[in-house]
Chains A and B, each alone.
Chain A
Amino acid sequence: MANPPDAAAVAGPSRHHIELRINRQRHQIEVESWVSLLDLLRDRLQLTGTKKGCDHGQCGACTVLVDGRRINACLTLAVMQNGREITTVEGLANLVTGPELHPLQQAFIDHDAFQCGYCTPGQLCSALGLMHEGQAKTPDEVRELMSGNVCRCGAYPQIARAVSEVALGARPGGMAGTASQPVVVGTVPA
């Protein structure tokens, strides 16, 4: 549950002080009501890894994780996410005790699962959300549960293979994630 903005901290009904943890870092931000989480990440915090594709929830390029759940950052207001933990593509690799790519990132490289790369941050965050949900048990189910992420280069076969390899446990160590971004299947209801 997001914390409602603290009444005392509200600068006005259309401006709000909010606090987010983004990639394990605390941010205190003042934001207008109408700023989407996506615009906040990209324009205010320079976290431009998350992409704006359609801005209407149709392409999945803006997929991020909120408290471990994948959502479209373009279809939610930043102020509605007050108090939440946000993970973007910048938070996937372990740069603390690493450098160590997330197994999904390495699988995308190994399977050549991108061409232009624009959809890739959203595909990766979506795939991590899929692993947390723990509902996909077969490659067909992986494909269906990745359908919210469009790739206009058409790298779908490679993307489906990369995600399946990690999410279905065929990649050694893949199910564990990284030290800084562990995967705990089923802790996040889909």
Chain B
Amino acid sequence: MSPFDYLWATTAQAALEQIGPGPGSTTAAGFGKFVAGGTNLLDLMKENVMRPARLVDINPLALGDIEPTREGGLRLGALARNADTAYAPEVRSRYPLLSAAILAGASPQIRNMASNGGNLLQRTRCHYFYDAGVPCNKRAPGSGCPAVSGLARQHAILGASELCIATHPSDMCVALRALDAVVLVQSPRGGRAIAFEDFHRLPGAQPDIDTTLAHDELITHIELPPPAPGFAAHSAYLKLRERASYAFALVSVAAMLDIGADGAVGAARIALGGVAHKPWRMLEAEALLVGQRPSDALFEQAAERLLHGARPQGVGPGSNAFKIPMAQRAVVRALQTALRGTAPNTGENDNAGDAP
């Protein structure tokens, strides 16, 4: 790791004062980064992919609570750890999708360290981005993208640009997208709320920018609106990966259904992970389900709509063309699982062939 200064903050205001200029700054002071769990940032610093001159440790800030909101939702502190969030009784009972998604990600050790705010700010695990010896438009804008003609199993099939086909690696964020979470941030200019769909961005012409968060903005909370009544009883997070546990998703699906007394779908949410630069959701695909009696044919229609415009990347054995049918079938299977009930992803169903 390159040398850097370590500072710490006990208030959000102090942290915002200490963070200083952002990446791209030409000042001698270099840029600063907030650190909480550090599980991704320190790893990137070891690889020389990120070289901040200064880390501001925000762990002393009082942002670790998980509390009900007045509106009947739940407010997750940015510094609450992923594991504490997944196992929080209110999350398990009212937002089992979020618990299941978090438990499908990383390892118990990393979930014990990683913060909720930091989970949102994970960088892609594209191996070209991680290898400082090769070009990468995300790491070094304008240098090129070896992934488009290389190994693209982990890469996007939706929303990619010619400059970048990276995917967002988070499982938690796929659930947060399906749950319509809101990200609360603070900056020297005051506070603001960012709808989850607007938080992460597509690569477009600026693949080096992952999110709409400004450098001097600090995530303080993630707010979950009250869930639709039936969602807690019908939710599934299906994650398909290269091994049974502790691997990033090739494709993941967050699915929730609200089934009315008449057996018809009252509301539906479907979000995809592992397929784009941000969690992928399309309201039109969900609308196809509403008012209909659930069936495999109906689920297939929704899957097809959600995958509309999907395009393979990579060449030869590196092609990710397999992800298009895989994602379609995963959507159907996640909806089938959600229709039957709720899957907690704690490992208890490992031997059941149809468990997520």
A110 to chain B, nearest CB (A): 24
Contact of B108 among A1, A16, A137, A148 (CB under 8 A): A148
| Residues of B close to A175: CB separation below 8 A | none
Determine the chain A residues whose CB is within 8 A of the CB of B84 once the complex forms. Answer: 189-190
Q: Does A181 contact B (CB under 8 A)?
A: no
Nearest chain B CB to A118 CB, angstrom units = 17
- How many Å lie between the Cα of A1 and that of B36 in the bound state? 12
Q: Are B108 and A126 in contact (CB under 8 A)?
A: yes
Please tell me if A104 contacts chain B, counting CB pairs below 8 Å.
no
A70 touches B347 (CB 8 A): no
Q: Is A140 an interface residue (CB 8 A)?
A: yes
Q: Which of chain B's residues has its CB closest to A70's CB?
A: B109
Interface size class of A (residues with CB under 8 A): 35 or more
Stretch at the interface among A21-29, A40-48, A54-62: A54-62
The yes or no answer to A77 lying at the interface (CB within 8 A) is: yes
Docked CA distance A118–B131 (Å)? 27
- Complex partner residue of B3 from A5, A34, A55, A141, CB under 8 angstroms: A34
Question: Are A147 and B107 touching (Cβ within 8 A)?
Answer: yes
Q: How far is the CA of A76 from the CA of B38 in the complex (A)?
A: 6
Alpha-carbon separation in the docked complex, A76 to B45 (Å): 12
Provide the B342-356 mask, 1 if CB < 8 A to any CB of A, else 0. 000011111100000
Does B60 interact with chain A (Cβ within 8 Å)?
A: yes
Contact: B109 with A144, CB < 8 Å? no
- With A56-B43, A189-B84, A190-B87 in contact, is A75–B113 under 8 Å at CB? yes
Pair A190/B109 contact, Cβ less than 8 Å: no
Beta-carbon nearest neighbor of B4 in chain A: A33
Asked if B140 is at the interface (CB within 8 A of a chain A CB), the reply is no
Which residues on A sit within 8 Å (CB–CB) of B38? 75-77, 80
The yes or no answer to B149 lying at the interface (CB within 8 A) is no
Residue of B nearest to A63 (CB): B109
Residue contact A76 to B113, C-beta cutoff 8 Å: yes
* B 1-36 contacts with A by CB, 8 A: 1-8, 10, 35
- Chain B residues with Cβ below 8 Å from A189 are 83-84, 87
A sample of 9 more A-B contacts (CB under 8 A), given A36-B42, A189-B83, is A13-B7, A14-B6, A33-B4, A57-B109, A126-B108, A145-B347, A148-B107, A189-B87, A190-B84
Residues of A within 8 A of B (CB): 1-2, 4-5, 13-14, 16, 32-34, 36, 55-57, 60, 63, 69-72, 75-77, 79-80, 126, 129-130, 133, 135, 137-138, 140-141, 143-149, 189-190
Question: Which 7 pairs between the two chains have the least Cβ-Cβ distance?
Answer: A148-B107, A144-B347, A13-B5, A33-B6, A147-B245, A4-B8, A34-B1
